Amino acid sequence: MSSFTAPGATVTFVAVAGDYEETREARVAIQEIPGGDEFTIDQGGRVPLRWRVVMLLENESVWGALNAVLGQLGTVNIDGLTGHEAVLLSASRRAPYPDGQTIANAEFIITDT
């Protein structure tokens, strides 16, 4: 089981094993100097680490709880990965299954790396 715990709610979910993504990017700007072949490179740093997770939610109330913690700082635990402080940046979902379960996509910005 996986979870995201923020003030006011704990959302538990099953992380879909093949649909986990971790993204880290650099901030780099290249500026050409007019009148020649010269240029400068500005290495501005790094974009925060992002985790994108596809999750199975048990029912509609879990989806509501996920929306309630959108934009909040909390702790995310995904299966065997250790807990990290994170902000839930976005959440979307597909149509629910007949039994009430639904597949959702979530993106977290990891703040403690």
CATH number of the domain where residue 47 is located: 2.40.30.200
Domain holding 34, by residue range, is 2-110
Tens of pLDDT, residue by residue over 55-102, are 999 999 999 999 999 999 999 998 877 789 999 999 999 999 999 999
Quote the CA–CA distance of 12 and 31 in Å, as a whole number: 46
Dihedral through CA 101, CA 94, CA 56, CA 51, nearest 10?
-160
pTM across the whole model: 0.78
Number of domains in the chain: 1
Residues 5-25 pLDDT 10s: 999 899 999 998 667 777 877
